[in-house]
Amino acid sequence: MDVRRRPVKNQSHQRPVKQPTAGELLKAYNQPKPSDALPLPLYLTNGLFFTIFFSVMYFLLHRWREKIRNSVPLHVLTFSELAAVASLIASVVYLVGFFGIEFVQSIFRPSPDSWEIEDDSLDQIMLAEDKPTKQCGELLIPRIVAATTEVAEMTKENNKEKIKPPPVTDHSSSWSVEDEEIVKLVVDGSLPSYSLESKLGDCKRAAKIRREALQRITGKSLSGLPLEGFDYESILGQCCEMPVGYVQIPVGIAGPLLLNGAEFSVPMATTEGCLVASTNRGCKAIYVSGGATCILMKDGMTRAPVVRFSSVKRAAELKQFLEDPMNFETLALVFNKSSRFGRLQSVKCAIAGKNLYIRFCCATGDAMGMNMVSKGVQNVLDFLHDDFPDMDVMGISGNYCSDKKPAAVNWIEGRGKSVVCEAVIKEEVVHKVLKTTVPALVELNMLKNLTGSAMAGALGGFNAHASNIVSAVYLATGQDPAQNVESSHCITMMEAVNDGKDLHISVSMPSIEVGTVGGGTQLASQSACLNLLGVKGASKDEPGSNARVLATIVAGSVLAGELSLMSAISAGQLVKSHMKYNRSTRDMSKLTSSN
Ligand code: ADP
- Of 539, 547, 507, the C-alpha closest to 300 is 547
What integer is the mean pLDDT of 551-580?
89
Overall average pLDDT of the 351-376 stretch: 98
Active-site residue flag, 578:
yes
Residues 6 or more apart from 108 whose CB is under 8 A from it? none
Atom number of ligand 1 nearest to Cα 365: 24
Burial class (CB in 10 A: 0-12, 13-18, 19+), 446: middle
Average pLDDT (246-253) is 98
Beta bridge partners of 350: 357
Averaged pLDDT for residues 569-573: 89
Q: How far is the CA of 369 from the centre of ligand 1 (A)?
A: 7
What average pLDDT is seen over the chain? Answer: 84
350 contacts 357 by C-beta, under 8 angstroms: yes
Q: Whose CA is nearest to atom 11 of ligand 1?
A: 518
Active-site residue, from 241, 263, 272, 329: 272
Clarify whether 272 is annotated catalytic.
Answer: yes
> What backbone torsions phi and psi does residue 581 show, to the nearest 5 degrees?
-95, -25
- pLDDT of residue 471 exceeding 60, the answer is yes
pLDDT per residue over 333-351, tens digit each?
A: 999 999 999 999 999 999 9
Distance, in Å, from the CA atom of 477 to the CA atom of 550, rounded to the nearest integer, reads 9
For ligand 1, pick from 340, 517, 527, 548 the residue to mutate: most ligand atoms within 8 Å of CB: 517
Q: Which CATH number fits domain 251-299+416-580: 3.90.1300.10, 3.30.930.10, 3.90.770.10, 3.40.50.1980?
A: 3.90.770.10
pLDDT at 32 over 70: no
Question: Taking Cα atoms as reference points, which of 77, 25, 20, 6 lies closest to residue 521?
Answer: 6
> Any idea which architecture 305-400 has in CATH?
2-Layer Sandwich (3.30)
> Is 301 a pocket residue for ligand 1 (Cβ < 6 Å)?
no
Q: Can 130 be counted among the known catalytic residues?
A: no
In the reported structure, the alpha carbon of residue 293 is separated from the centroid of ligand 1 by a whole-number distance in angstroms of 28
CA distance 84 to 79: 9
Any ligand 1 atom below 6 A from CB of 202: no
Domain boundaries, the chain: 52-95, 177-235, 251-299+416-580, 305-400
Instruction: Say whether pLDDT at 435 is over 90.
Output: yes
- Specify whether 480 is catalytic: yes
Is residue 369 lining ligand 1, measured as CB closer than 6 Å? Answer: yes
Residue 28 has pLDDT above 80, yes or no: no
Contact 327, 321 (CB under 8 A): yes
Instruction: Give the pLDDT band of residue 114 (cuts 50, 70, 90).
Output: very low
Residue nearest to atom 21 of ligand 1 (CA): 538
The residue contributing the CA closest to ligand 1 atom 7 is 518
| Candidate from 372, 375, 512, 540 with most ligand 1 atoms within 8 A of CB, to mutate | 372
pLDDT of residue 469: 98
Give me the catalytic one of 404, 417, 435, 465: 404
> Is 63 in a helix, a strand, or coil?
helix
443 in helix, strand or coil? helix
The pLDDT of residue 544 is 98
| Predicted confidence (pLDDT) at residue 150 exceeds the cutoff of 60 | no
Q: For position 529, what pLDDT does the model report?
A: 98
